[in-house]
Amino acid sequence: MEVHTNIPLKNFTTMKLGGPAKFMVEVRTPEELQAVYDNAAAKNLPIFILGGGSNVIARDEGFAGIVIRVRIPGFEIVADDINTTTIKIGAGESWDSAVKRTVDMHLSGIEAMSMIPGTAGAAPVQNVGAYGQEIADTLVSLEAYDSQTKSFVVLQNEACGFAYRDSIFRGDQKGRYIITNITLKLSKSLPQPPFYDALQAYFDKLNIKIFTQETVRDAVTAIRTEKLPDPTITPNTGSFFKNAIVENWQLTELQQTYPDMKVFDMGNGTSKIPTGWLIEQTGLKGQVLHGMRVHDKNALVLINESATGYADLAAARDEIIGAVRDKFRIQIEQEPLELS
């Protein structure tokens, strides 16, 4: 385990922005994680936990503390019965590689979350989801280092405070827990319709009538490849904005002007409106703002074409947020966390 100094964060985040981290270290065991964290805390160093860097924005001034890159491996069957298989996955494992392994095992539950970049340990932080599935649907529990009690703890699903693209890990307990592994309970049954609209449209187009974990993964891979730029080639963080959640009374008002608006009932008197659609209606889709391009195939995505720093990204973000607010009276929110 080696501590590096003055490491450019732009090399470890997929938006390719950000100044140097004062210190950076890679940990591969829970024990290494605890030792590094406690040592940094004792020296009053700011600490940031970094997974794959695909959902993180770094600022130009960098980070005046230590960035801990969690690379804890592991993929283990911990329970198995006639209907389900329960798997423990190390926080440092590639999320998509883990999804592929479960699909190869003919297990259902996370196959629609194929091609999401990042690590398994980052998945619960924002309750990642796609095409009708989210991590909260299958997560049984997770293990984490509790920086308050300086001990390792197990948190059950209900303790994670999962909501749409949210959890306690980016909410009121942000920074307290460092996830070391996650445990998922997956089904041995074949995927069943109804499917998310984009998936069903893909199946209908190709006249696919028999659904397996592999056909769902293949469909999601094809759709995402078409709609989303590869962050290893084109600098971006995937969906830069969360989809909008509005009260149903406001939705009713909007539908009077936009009767064809696509909405999803979220319960509790709220509905989800695709933010990509909202941005499209402002005319910004495909436009370049301060060196950031609003992706012409998915307006949720911002691509770093020529931005020279965080200020460019912030200006583009704020311009988009303002345009949506002015047109719809909806305040959309950034999805990636900020390294600070």
CA dist 300 and 278 (Å) reads 9
CA dist 338 and 60 (Å) reads 12
Tokens 């974990």 identify what position?
213
Q: Which segments of the chain does DSSP mark as H helices, in order?
A: 30-42, 95-104, 197-205, 213-227, 248-257, 275-281, 310-328
CA dist 217 and 199 (Å) reads 10
Q: Of the listed 165, 217, 224, 293, which one is catalytic?
A: 165
Strand 75-80 versus strand 84-90 pairing type: antiparallel
> What amino acid is encoded at 13 in this protein?
T
Q: Is 239 a residue of the active site?
A: yes
- Cα torsion 326, 332, 333, 335: sign: negative
Q: How many CB atoms lie within 10 A of CB 79?
A: 12
Q: Of the listed 93, 111, 134, 335, which one is catalytic?
A: 335
Q: Is 165 a residue of the active site?
A: yes
Torsion angle in degrees (nearest 10) through CA of 110, 302, 245, 201? -50
Q: Of the listed 141, 239, 293, 317, which one is catalytic?
A: 239
3-state secondary structure of 194: coil
Q: How many CB atoms lie within 10 A of CB 234?
A: 16
With a CB cutoff of 8 Å and minimum separation 6, the contacts of 155 are 141, 142, 143, 144, 177
Q: Which residues is 253 bridged to in the sheet?
A: none
With a CB cutoff of 8 Å and minimum separation 6, the contacts of 314 are none
3-state secondary structure of 225: helix
Mind telling me the catalytic residues?
Answer: 165, 239, 335
